[in-house]
Amino acid sequence: MNGELAIDVAGLTKKFGSRTVVKDFNIQVPKGQVWGFLGPNGSGKTTTIRMLCGLLLPDGGQGKCLGYDIRTQAAQIKRNVGYMTQRFSFYEDLSIRENLDFVARVYDMKGRKQAVDEAIAQLGLTKRQDQLAGELSGGWKQRLALAACILHRPQLLLLDEPTAGVDPQARRDFWEEIHTLAGQGLTVLVSTHYMDEAERCDRIVYLAYGTVLARGTVDEVIDNSDLFTWIVTGEEVRGLAQELHGKPGIDQVSVFGVTLHISGTDQAALERAIAPYRNRPGLTWTKSKPSLEDVFIHLMGPFREQVTG
């Protein structure tokens, strides 16, 4: 069984000074799956990914990536992992081809020129291959970074917010590519803030302030939450949202254009709170499952108070 896990770590802990940034982190990712890594900014996603690929030494815990010990076999892990950093970290003063060529040399690839040619062709950048990476737009930079990360045919891809600031079409292409790669047996762990991207993952792990708050498939995460939601549709939902805010029994109210999500953990209290408004004309009330976003915002609630209070 162990042989089929691409990532298998337990108890990972990382401190910066006296601050614990990641606490007791466990995951077991089977080979060939795509896992999403979610959580608010500063929750420790980047730190965790860095520990997985040997860039940071954990203060506690142990585990393996691709069967190599993350503490002692960082060199082997680095050869077989493709890590795409959150911030573009290829060379802006090198051209697209020069960057890829550098990567190919670093990984001692045989048939270097051919591999680079293919990667450029696949990117659709054959005509612009001599353009400096620094002159590329955000979306193209991300695609270049991804191409560079998979150039050496890694077995595990660690992608840190690879689609931040990328337009929807490019995001869709990006995910197509990721699923193609996963279909070829590559394991992917990808951090993101986008719910639609989370829904494309086999499993998601939700991290807040260094602690895993939820994990599983999207449905499992929603079902396991103790959240109840009503969805209201109508022209006047904005005004209704104002009125409902802060009522006992209502934890969250958020407007999505002409729909309103009202959620709370205590079903009875929630029903009581909305009862006076149920008969307003022009509004349609539906009892529903919470969305993933509702769940995440709910999960963060207690921490938000902790931070501000």
Partner 1 sequence: MFGISFGRIAAVFVKELIQMRRDRLTFAMIIAIPIVQLVLFGYAINSDPKHLPTALNVQDNSVFARSLTAAMQNTGYFTITHIVKGEREGQDLLASGTVAFLLTVPPDFSRRLARGERPSLLMEADATDPAATANAMAAVSQLPATVFNNDLKGALTSLQATPPPFNVVVHRLYNPEGITSYNVVPGLIGVILTMTMVLITALAVTREVERGTMENLLAMPLQPFEVMVGKIAPYIVMGYIQVTVVLIAALLLFGVPMLGSWFDLSIALAIFIAANLSIGFTISTVAQNQLQAMQMTFFFFLPSILLSGFMFPFRGMPVWAQAIGEALPNTHFMRIVRGIMLKGAGLGELFGDIWPLLLFMLVVMGIALVRYRRTLD
Using the rule CB under 5 A, is 48 a contact of Mg ion?
A: no
Identify which of residues 49 and 232 has a Cβ nearer to ligand ADP in the complex.
49
Using the rule CB under 6 A, is 304 a contact of ligand ADP?
A: no
Identify which of residues 46 and 225 has a Cβ nearer to Mg ion in the complex.
46
Give the count of beta carbons closer than 10 Å to the beta carbon of residue 211. Answer: 16
Contact between 98 and 90 under an 8 Å Cβ cutoff? The reply is no
> Least CB distance from residue 59 to ligand ADP, whole Å?
13
Identify which of residues 47 and 291 has a Cβ nearer to ligand ADP in the complex.
47
Total of chain residues touching ligand ADP, rule CB under 6 A: 10
Residue facing Mg ion at closest CB distance: 46
Tokens, residue 133? 């990476």
43 binds, among partner 1, ligand ADP, Mg ion, none (CB under 5 to 8 A by kind): ligand ADP
> Order of strands, edge to edge, in the sheet holding 19-30?
19-30, 5-16, 60-65, 68-69
CA distance 245 to 258: 17
User: Which residue pairs, CB below 8 angstroms and at least 24 apart, start in 114-119?
Assistant: 115/151, 116/151, 119/147, 119/148, 119/151
Q: Within 13 A of 92's CA, how many CA atoms are on the CB side?
A: 9
Identify which of residues 44 and 249 has a Cβ nearer to Mg ion in the complex.
44
Candidates 30, 74, 131, 301: give the one binding partner 1 (CB under 8 A): 74
CA distance 125 to 269: 58
305 binds, among ligand ADP, Mg ion, partner 1, none (CB under 5 to 8 A by kind): none
93 binds, among Mg ion, partner 1, ligand ADP, none (CB under 5 to 8 A by kind): partner 1
> Least CB distance from residue 191 to ligand ADP, whole Å?
7
| Site track 91-130 with partner 1 (rule: CB under 8 A), x = hit | xxxx---x--xxx-xxxx----------------------
Q: Which amino acid is at 234?
A: G
CA-to-CA separations, 99 to 142, 147, 153, 233, 304, in angstroms, rounded: 13, 10, 16, 51, 42
Q: Within 13 A of 213's CA, how many CA atoms are on the CB side?
A: 23
Name residues contacting ligand ADP, limited to 23-82 (CB under 6 A). Answer: 39, 41-47
Using the rule CB under 6 A, is 21 a contact of ligand ADP?
A: yes
127, burial (CB in 10 Å: exposed 0-12, middle 13-18, buried 19+) = exposed
**Stretch touching partner 1 by CB under 8 A, among 90-98, 172-180, 208-216, 265-273:** 90-98
Using the rule CB under 5 A, is 46 a contact of Mg ion?
A: yes
> Least CB distance from residue 256 to partner 1, whole Å?
36
Q: Is residue 212 helix, strand or coil?
A: strand
Residue with tokens 């060939």: 32
**Stretch touching Mg ion by CB under 5 A, among 40-48, 53-61, 228-236, 269-277:** 40-48
The two most distant CA atoms of the chain are separated, in Å, by 72
Identify which of residues 40 and 54 has a Cβ nearer to partner 1 in the complex.
54
What residues line the site for Mg ion (CB under 5 A)? Answer: 45-46, 86
Binding residues for partner 1, rule: CB under 8 A, are 50, 53-57, 74-75, 78-79, 81, 83, 85, 87-94, 98, 101-103, 105-108
